[in-house]
Each structure stands twice: as structure tokens, then as C-alpha cells.
Structure 1
Amino acid sequence: MRNVRQAAVPQVQLVTFSVGGEEFGLDVFSVHEILRYQEVTPVPRAPAFVEGVLDVRGTVVPVVDLRRRFEVAQIGYDDETRIVLVEFAGERLGLVVDSVTEVLRAPETSISAPPAYIKGLSAEFIRGIVRHNGRLIILMDLDRILSSEERIALESADLESADLEGADVQAAEGVAEGA
């Protein structure tokens, strides 16, 4: 019997993570780094789903809470909470997720279009559904995580001086209490 080689099936590599009890995936090449959750600095006038900013080795990175973005019930952060640093519109962006599950390979043929009945806010973030070892993983469309208006709002928030504004407010409150 001859050994017949099968044609290689194109694969996708995904970083999978959990948000609100659902499993999501992002192309591994869009993920730069995964950090343990750490406190972020709030940003005045930022969209509600923006947690704040984080200093990552000298770069100020906006951080989006995916629970807020997907309108999922909020829970406290714990030891499993992570910030996934991704490339978004030529910049770094942090995504707060409940936990990171794994990095996996799946055949491209395992990706299906999202069902037609998925409508509303969540539908615009979905690129497809991945079937992998009996699991269904929601493949995120990172390019659509923020609308044009939200990108503008995020850019107009003063990210560089966010920590200074917070300090000014605290100082003003301290002066008012002492008066």
C-alpha cells in the first residue's frame, strides 16, 4: 500500500478568551501581548466602555472593557482577568477579558459565517464562528470593535494627561475639604 499524502489544509491560529461565559477568538497575529489585569488610569470624556489607559513600557495604551463593550453583566476583576494587547488601526489597544483560554490551530474550513438571525450590537463584532473539538468559538472582527465615531471620541480624550487631570481633581477636593 502506498502512502498517499493529503493536501495541506490552510490553518488559522487563534488566541481564545472568555467574556461573560462565552468563548471568543482573535487571530494570533493581531495579539502582541497578554498581561495580568492591573489598575488603569481613568480618562475623562472617554466612551463608557473605555476602562482608561495603561502605561506599557512607556507607551500610553487605551484599555477597552469587553464586558461593557458587549453589554454583558459586570463582575469584579480576579486573578484570571487579563488585558490582551492588540494592534488596532495602527495603534496598541488593550482589551479586558475574563480569562485567556489557549492558543489553538484550526482548519480554515472550520470557520462559518455568523448565523443570519444574530442582529444588533454583538453582530457587528463577529467575523465568524469556529467549530473546534466540539466547541463553538466566536471569531471577533477586531477592525470593527470601535466605530468611526468611537475612534474619534477616544482620540479626542486627552490620553497623555489623564493621570495629571485625576491628580488635579484629587488636589482640588483636598483643598475643598480643608477649607
Structure 2
Amino acid sequence: MSMTSTSNNAAHAHDGAGSEFLAFTLGSEEYGIDILKVQEIRGYEAVTRIANAPEFIKGVINLRGIIIPVVDMRIKFNLGTPVYDQFTVVIILNISGRIMGMVVDSVSDVTTLSPDQVKPAPEMGTAFNSDYLIGLGTIDERMLILVDIDKLMSSGEMGLIEKIAA
């Protein structure tokens, strides 16, 4: 899938030398989030279910004495039936001081994108509402859908996480 964009003013959100993104996969797409929001990456482990929580909130885990909610992005965005195997990982995020986990299919690498490698996200059929996208990062033939994880995790629908974690 190749997409070309004629706009060069895309990276106004990130000026300067470039930003580092953690690349991860959900289904057939590869996404990136700001590495500064990532606290650690863990293998998937059993979670404690919470009664009456939406299905995409898998439950909570005890992370060194802190109870943190875990969201399964594959369920949240209807990306097929999630499979939990040795590649499944939980990305532990620190969003404005709130710790939470995000289940993804796999994590590939950390990539530095310069501002000219970030293009505006076109209106296209990604799982994520374009409000939550920073843009598309392009590295050679590879394309990362860059997610504004702060915005996504603080959105109204994710507000339920705060109630659960409380």
C-alpha cells in the first residue's frame, strides 16, 4: 500500500531534530507512539478482570505494587479476535503521571523520524479516529501510523479507565 502526499508542512507538531517513536503492530498495520510516553514493555500476563468493565479493558495488573488498568487495543478497535501468544506485549505507558498498560500484537523497534518524514494523516480507513493521529511516518517503504497516545488515552471513552483505576 503506497500513499503519496504532496504536503510538506506536516510536521509542525514536531520541530527540530526528530522524534523517537516505539513501533508496534495491531493486525496488519504498524503504529508508532512517542517513546517518551513508554515506561516499559512487558510480556502479556494474565490480568484480573473487573466486573462491568467494557470489553476492551482487559482488567488490571499489579506492577510492583501499583494496580494499573490494561486496555486491549485490538478489542477497542475491532481488529479481529485477539490472540495471546509469546509475541503479545503490554506497553506500559505513563500519560501525564497516570500509568496504564496497552496490549498490542507485537513491538518491533524504536524509530527516529525527522519532521520531513512525518506527513499529515489522510482520511483513511485506519482503526483510529483521525483526531488521535499525529500523522504518518515514512521510513523507506515502511509506514507508521503515528498515534497521539495522550489524546487517545485521555479521551472520553477511555475515561472509564480512570474510574476503574481509582
TM-score (norm 2): 0.82
SS class of match (2:49): coil
After the TM superposition, which residues 65-144 of structure 1 pair with which residues of structure 2 at under 5 Å, given as runs? 65-117=72-124, 122-144=129-151
Could you say which residue in structure 2 is the equivalent of 1:145?
152
Q: In structure 1, how many angstroms separate the alpha carbons of the residues matched to 2:138 and 2:71?
A: 27
After the TM superposition, which residues 44-83 of structure 1 pair with which residues of structure 2 at under 5 Å, given as runs? 44-83=51-90
SS class of match (2:107): strand
Specify the code of the residue in structure 1 equivalent to 2:46. E
**Cα deviation, residue 38, structure 1:** 0.5
**Cα deviation, residue 149, structure 1:** 4.7
Q: Which runs of 5+ in 2 are unaligned?
A: 1-15
Aligned residues, how many? 150
Structure 1: 4+ residue segments shifted above 4 A: 117-121
Larger radius of gyration: 1
TM-score (norm 1): 0.76
Q: Percent identity?
A: 31
CA contact (8 A) 1:70 1:122 kept: no
2:26 to 6, 9, 19: 19
**Cα deviation, residue 121, structure 1:** 5.2
**Which structure shows the bigger proportion of residues in helix conformation?**
1
